[in-house]
Amino acid sequence: MGDSHRWSPQRVLFVIVLAAAVTVPVAATQLEVSPHRVTPGTVVAGTALLVGSLALPALLFSRWAATVE
3-state secondary structure string, 16-38?
HHHHHHHHHHHHHHHCCCCCCCC
Residue 41 lies in a domain: yes
Q: What is the pTM of this model?
A: 0.76
Residue 2 lies in a domain: no
Number of domain units in the chain: 1
10-49 as b/e, with b when 16 or more CB fall inside 10 Å?
eeebbebbeebeebbeebeeeeebeeeeeeebbebbeebe
The pLDDT value recorded for residue 8 is: 83
pLDDT average, residue stretch 3-9: 73
Q: Is the pLDDT of residue 4 over 70?
A: no
Instruction: Report pLDDT digits (tens) over 12-41.
Output: 888 999 999 999 999 888 888 888 999 998
How far, in whole angstroms, is CA 61 from its chain's centroid?
A: 15
pLDDT average, residue stretch 62-67: 83
Residue 4 lies in a domain: no
The pLDDT value recorded for residue 66 is: 80
